Amino acid sequence: MKKLLVSALALFLSIGVFAQEAKKSVLPDNISVKTLDGKTVQTSAFNNDGKPYILSFWATWCKPCLRELNTIKEVYEEWQEETGVKIIAVSIDDARGASRVKPLVNGSGWEYEVYIDQNQDLKRAMNVVNVPHTFIINGNGEIVWQHTSFVEGSEEELIELVKKVMNGEDISESK
Amino acid sequence: MKRLFLLLLVVAVTIELQAQNLGGGQVTGNFQIDAQLSRQDSSIGAEDVPQKLLSNVFANLLYTNGGFSAGIRFESYLDPLLGFNSQYKGAGIANKFMSYQGDMFEITAGNFYEQYGSGLIFRSYEDRNLGLDNAMMGVNVKIRPMDGIIIKTMVGKQRYYWDYGKGLVRGIDGEFSLNSIIKKFEESKTRVTLGAGFVSKYEEDQTILAPTDGFKLNLPLNVGAGSFRMDLAHGNWGLQAEYAIKSQDPNVLNNYIYKGGNALFVSASYSQKGLGINLQAKRIDNMGFKSERSLAGEMLYINYIPAMSKQHTYALMALYPAITQVNGEMGIQADVTYSIKKGTLLGGKYGTTLKMNYSQIMSIDKQPLEGSTTIGEMGTNGYTSNFFKVGDELYYQDFNVEISKKLSKKSKLALTYAYIAFNPIMENEHGDIHYNNVVVADYTYKMNSKNVLRGELQWLKSNIEYFDEDKRSGDWLMALVEWNFTSAFFLSVSDQYNYNGSKEHYYNVSVGYTHNTTRLQIGYGKQRKGLLCIGGVCREVPASNGLMISLTSSF
Amino acid sequence: MKRLLNITAIIFATIVAFAGCDKIEEGDYLIFAGSSGSWYEGQPVADHTKRVFVEKYTGVRCVNCPSADVAISALQNTYGHDVVAVSIHAGALARPWNGFADLRTTDGDEWNNYFGIEAYPSIMINRSKTGNAWNIITAVGGIAAGVENAIGLPADIAMNITTEYDAASRGVTIFPNIEFVENITAPLTITLLVMEDGIVGKQTTPEGNDENYVFNHVLRDVITDLWGADIDADGNQGTCRMGAFTYTLPQEYVAENCHIVAFISNKDTREILQCAETSIVE
C-alpha cells in the first residue's frame, strides 16, 4: 500500500511538471451553474464574442473578494470602453449566502455577469482552492492566466494583461 | 478495488500523456500543504505537541478529455493539525472518481459531491478548514431529457475519515424550469423553477436499550426525507422557498424520539441598481439527518442546514458565531445593501456603500406529550410543536451596520458596528446570554501603485465577566497592520488582547508570497482556543503557540 | 413532451415507493430486548472444568454441512456434556427454496453478520480470537482438533443450569448458577438461548437432497439480548450467584425436544468462558 502511495505521488508530481509544459488548459464547458434568476446554464455559454474575459471566483463572506469586485466596479466602465473586456463573477456561496448574492450584486451596483456555483462543481473543476481566484480566458476559451488573492492596485496589472492578450501576446510566463 | 481504480487511472493518464501531442485531454490539479509547529504554553492552554511537526496535505489531480473526466485526491495527516480529529491520522488516496458526460446525461462513479435544492435533505460537501468531508462513494447520474429539466439520482455511502459510514444513502431529485418547458412562458419576464427531491437512508438494526427495563427500540431501518422547492424571479423581485419533511428517525441527536422532522426556508428579495434587500425566514424542527443513527459529532450528516445570520469575517465579530440547532430553531434575517450615489451629500466624491443586517434566532415551541411532563423522552414521540409559535428562548441575535467609503483616490475606510447576543446553549453550555458590542474600523491606504497599507482596529465589549474555562469572555481589543507589495507579497502584524479578562495577548506575524496560483504563507503567533465555524458548522480548535506554514498551488 | 413528464413522474414515484421509509406505529416503538434477569446468592458448583461451546453456522442447501454434524456428534459421544453444540442456520445457503424449511432466526443472522461468516459450514469454538480476528474453522477435518485443544482445561468460572417448566402456560424459568473459581475483573455477560432437536426436513447432501434429514441443536431464539445480560457479581474468587430468567416457549416448538443453553462471555472481547446446557422437560 505504501509503495502504491509513493508511486501515485511520484506520478502526480511528474504529471504536474508535464502539465506545466503542456498546451494551455481550457475552460471546462460542461459544468452547470445558476444565473441570479435561478436558471441553470452550462459553462459552454461563457463567452465574450471572441474577446477575452475575466473569470473571478468569489463569495459573500470573503472580504478580499468584495474589495476586488468593488475596486473593479470603479473602473469597469472605462475598461469595457477601452478593451471590451467582460467580467464573469462566480459565487461559491452555499445555501447560507446564495440567496443574498443577487441583492448584494445589485445593491453594490456591480454590472458583471454573475453566476452561482452552489455545489462548487466549477470550483473543483478549475482547481480553485481559495477565493478570490481570478482567471483570464482568451477568445478560444483557453485559460491564459490565473491568480489568487487581491490587493488594491492589482486591478491595474489585470487590465494590462488583458490588453496583452488582446494583442495576441503570450502572457503565460509573465506575472 | 482501490488498486484497480489506480491502475485504470494510471492507464488513462499514460494514454493521455501520449495523446497530449495529438491534442487530446488535459491534466490539471492543485495541492495544499499546511504544517504546524506548536509548543506548550500554559497561559493560553496550549498543550505540548510531542510530534513537534504536524501536517495536513491535500493533492488533487484531475484529468479531462471531452466528456470524460477522472480524478484522484491524495490526503495525508501525519499527524493531523491541532483541532483535526485524530481518526484522520494516516495517508492515502481519499477520493477518486470517473465521470462521463453525454448530451443528455452525466454519470459519475466513485466519490462525488452533490446537493438537492438548498441542501435541507441532502448535501455532500467538503470543508477542509473544518476537517469535514462527507463525500459520497457510489454512483451519481444526472439526466437532462430536455431543456429545462434536470433529474438527478444517486446511491452511495458517506465518507467517514478513512472509512465509509454504515448507512446506505439513496436519492432522486428533479428540477423543472417552467419557462423552458412551456413554450408560452418562454419569453415571460417571470421565471419559475420548481423542484422536488427524495432521499432515503438504510441502516442495519442495532440494539439500543430503552429506558424501560428489558426493552429496546424498534428502529426504522429506512428513513426518508423529501422536499419541495420553488424559485420565482420577476424583474427586480425574487422569491425562493423550500419545505422539507423527514420520517421517523430516532437518533442520538434527537435523543431517539420517533417524531418526524420538518424544515421551512423562505427568502424574498428586491434589488435594483444601488439597492438590494433580502428577507429570510426559516423554521427547523428535528431535522438532524445522519447516515449513522448513533454517531454524535459533525460527521456523516446527510443534509445541511446553514445558520441564518451573516457570516462575519472580522476576528472579534466572529468570536461568538451562530451555530445551527438541528433539533429546532426559528429565525429571521434582513439584509440591505445600499450604494449612495457619487456627488450627493452623503455619497461624497466617490460614493458610499451602506450595509445593514439583522438576524434573530429563537427556539421553537415544544410541549410535552399528553400524560408526560418531560420533553424529548427517548422511545416516544418526544414532544408536540405549534408550527407558528415562536419558542421563548433566544439563541442568537445580530444587528450590524457597515459603512464603507472611498475617502480619496488613495484611501478607503470601512466602519462596522455589531450588536451580538449569544446564548451559550448553542455550544451545549449553560450560562447567561452574552451581549456584545463590537466596533471595527478598517482603513486602506494606497501609497502608490505597488504599495498598499491596511489597518484594522477592533473592540469588543461584553456584559459577561471573564471566566477562565473558555478563554473568550471579557472584553477584547485587536489591532492589525498589513503591508502589501502588489498582490505578490504581504506582511501583517496583529494582536488580540483580552484586556478585561485573561490579560492575554494573542499576537501574530504573517508573511505571504503569491506567484500566479502558488501561495506561500508563514505565520507565527498564538491561537486562541475556540470554535472555528463556517456556515453554522463548527470545529473545536485547541490553543496553539508556534509556527504555521501553508502552501497552496494549482496548475 | 407530456409523455416524457409522465415517464419522469412514474420513475419518481417508483423510486419513492421502493426506497421509502419505514413507519413504526405508535404502540410499537419499544420491543422486548430479551430478559435481563434478576440475581440472587448462589451455590458452589461441583464441576470446575471448562466446557466447550461449538457453534456451527449452517444451511439447508449446504452440501458439506451434514459432514460437520457427523463430526460434532462424534465429539459429543466422546466428551459428553463437556461439548455444547448449537446449529445456527444463516446466510445464503439457509434461504428457504423449493421445499426447504426456513430454520433461520434474526438473532442468528445478526451473529452471522457480526462474525463475518461467508462460508458454510463455519465452526467457532468458544468464540476465540487470534489477534483481532475470529478463529473460524471451515474445514470439517479441523473441528476435532479445535475441540481437543479447548477441552479439559480448568475453568475460571463454573456454572450449572436448572429450569422449571409450566406446561399449561409454557412458561420457563431458567436458573443459571455461577461460581467464580478465579478472580475475574473483566465485565461478564450471560447469554441464554433455546434450541430444538429432532426437526425433520429437507437437506442437501453430497448424495443429493435428503427429504427426511434430522436437524439437531437448531437455534430457535436468544432469550436474553443478543450479546447477553450483565452478570450482577463482583467477580471475586469464591463468589456464587444465581440468576432467574423467565421465558415463554412459543407454541410451534416441541417442548420435549427443546434445550436451554447458557454461556458466559467477556463483555469486551465476546470470548466465551463457560457454557452449560439443560433440557426443559425432565
**CATH assignment at residue A63:** 3.40.30.10
pLDDT at A21: 44
In this prediction, residues C186-210 reach a mean pLDDT of 93
In this prediction, residues A143-172 reach a mean pLDDT of 87
Whether B204 sits inside 8 A of C28 (CB atoms) is: no
Closest CA to B406 of C160, C204, A37, A73: A73
pLDDT of A64 over the 80 cut: yes
Q: In C215-250, which positions are buried (b, 16+ CB within 10 angstroms) versus exposed (e)?
A: bbbbbbbbbbbbbbbebebebeeebbbbbebebebe
List of residues 6+ apart from B170 with CB closer than 8 A: B154, B155, B199, B200, B201, B202, C15, C19
pLDDT at A95: 85
Closest CA to B226 of B248, B243, B202: B243
Closest CA to B322 of B162, B449, B436: B436
| Position with higher pLDDT, B168 vs A30 | B168
For residue B238, what is the nearest residue in chain A, using CA coordinates? Answer: A37
For residue B266, what is the nearest residue in chain A, using CA coordinates? Answer: A99
**Boundaries of domain holding C175:** 35-279
pLDDT of A15 over the 80 cut: no
pLDDT at B296: 85
| Position with higher pLDDT, B284 vs C11 | B284
For B26, which of A12, A25, A146 is closest by C-beta distance?
A25
Whether B17 sits inside 8 A of A15 (CB atoms) is: yes
Chains A and C touch (3+ CB pairs under 8 A): no
Whether B222 sits inside 8 A of C26 (CB atoms) is: no
What would you report as the CA-atom Rg of chain A, rounded to the nearest whole angstrom? 17
pLDDT tens for residues B37-91?
988 888 888 888 888 899 999 999 999 988 899 999 999 999 899 888 888 999 9
pLDDT of B122 over the 60 cut: yes
Give the separation between CA B287 and CA B384, rounded to whole angstroms. 15
* B145 vs C: CB within 8 A: yes
pLDDT at B13: 53
Q: B552 and B516 in contact (C-beta within 8 Å)?
A: no
Percentage of chain A modeled with pLDDT above 70: 84
Cell of B7: 491502475
pLDDT of A2 over the 70 cut: no
Please tell me whether the overall predicted TM-score, pTM, comes out greater than 0.80 for this model. Answer: no
pLDDT at C12: 62
| Position with higher pLDDT, B298 vs C263 | C263
pLDDT tens for residues A88-127?
999 999 888 888 999 999 999 999 999 999 999 999 999 9
For residue C4, what is the nearest residue in chain B, using CA coordinates? Answer: B145
Q: How far is the CA of C233 from the CAs of B476, C43, C183, C236, in angstroms?
A: 56, 13, 11, 8
* C2 vs B: CB within 8 A: no
* B43 vs C: CB within 8 A: no
Residue A71 lies in a domain: yes
Contacts of C110 in chain B (CB under 8 A): 205
Size of interface B-C (CB pairs under 8 A): 91
pLDDT tens for residues B221-270?
999 999 999 999 998 999 999 999 999 999 999 999 999 999 999 999 99
Q: How many CB atoms lie within 10 A of CB B3?
A: 9
For A37, which of B74, B191, B484 is closest by C-beta distance?
B191
**Boundaries of domain holding A109:** 25-166
In this prediction, residues B424-443 reach a mean pLDDT of 92
Q: How many CB atoms lie within 10 A of CB C139?
A: 13
Helix pair angle (A2-21, B2-19), 10° resolution: 20
In this prediction, residues B146-153 reach a mean pLDDT of 91
For residue C37, what is the nearest residue in chain B, using CA coordinates? Answer: B214
Structural domain B102-304, CATH architecture: Beta Barrel (2.40)
pLDDT at A153: 85
Q: How far is the CA of A131 from the CAs of A62, A64, A127, B9, B402, in angstroms?
A: 7, 8, 11, 29, 22
Class of residue B29 by CB neighbours under 10 A (exposed 0-12, middle 13-18, buried 19+): buried
Pairing type for strands B489-500 and B544-554 reads unpaired
pLDDT level of residue A17 (50, 70, 90 thresholds):
very low
Coil, strand, or helix at residue A120? coil
For C21, which of B181, B209, B222 is closest by C-beta distance?
B222
For residue B217, what is the nearest residue in chain C, using CA coordinates? Answer: C30
Residue A14 lies in a domain: no
pLDDT at B537: 64
In this prediction, residues A43-70 reach a mean pLDDT of 92
Residue C15 lies in a domain: no
For C21, which of B146, B247, B258 is closest by C-beta distance?
B247
Q: How many domains does chain A have?
A: 1
Q: Can you give the CATH number for the domain in which C199 is found?
A: 2.60.40.10
pLDDT tens for residues C2-32?
566 566 666 666 666 556 788 888 888 887 7
Q: A32 and A120 in contact (C-beta within 8 Å)?
A: no
CA distance B176 to chain C (A): 10
Percentage of chain A modeled with pLDDT above 90: 51
Whether C24 sits inside 8 A of B258 (CB atoms) is: yes
* C15 vs B: CB within 8 A: yes
List of residues 6+ apart from A86 with CB closer than 8 A: A48, A51, A53, A54, A80, A112, A113
Pairing type for strands A86-91 and A113-116 reads parallel
Q: A69 and A79 in contact (C-beta within 8 Å)?
A: no
C window 213-242, beta carbon within 8 A of B = 225-227
CA distance C246 to chain B (A): 12
pLDDT of A164 over the 50 cut: yes
pLDDT of A9 over the 80 cut: no
Closest CA to C161 of C149, C178, C139, C146: C178
Q: B110 and B124 in contact (C-beta within 8 Å)?
A: no
Q: In B260-299, which positions are buried (b, 16+ CB within 10 angstroms) versus exposed (e)?
A: bbbbbbbbbbbbeebbbbbbbbbbbbbbbbbbbbebeebb
Closest CA to B68 of B5, B24, B112: B24
Cell of B220: 426504522
In this prediction, residues A12-19 reach a mean pLDDT of 46
Which residue, among C10, C15, C21, C26, would best test binding to B if mutated, counting the most B CBs under 10 Å from its CB?
Answer: C21
pLDDT tens for residues C222-279?
999 889 988 988 889 999 999 989 888 999 999 999 999 999 999 989 999 999 999 9
State the chains in contact with A (3 or more Cβ–Cβ pairs under 8 Å). B
B window 353-382, beta carbon within 8 A of C = 379-381
Residue C56 lies in a domain: yes
Chains C and B touch (3+ CB pairs under 8 A): yes
CA distance C123 to chain B (A): 24
DSSP H/E element including B422: strand B411-422
Residue C2 lies in a domain: no
Contacts of A157 in chain B (CB under 8 A): 486-487
pLDDT of A13 over the 50 cut: no
Cell of B222: 429506512
In this prediction, residues B271-294 reach a mean pLDDT of 95
pLDDT at B102: 85
Average model confidence (pLDDT) across chain B = 89
Whether A150 sits inside 8 A of B275 (CB atoms) is: no
Phi, psi of A71, deg, nearest 5:
-65, -45
Residue A175 lies in a domain: no
In this prediction, residues B21-39 reach a mean pLDDT of 82
Cell of B318: 466572529
CA distance B248 to chain C (A): 7
CA distance C224 to chain B (A): 9
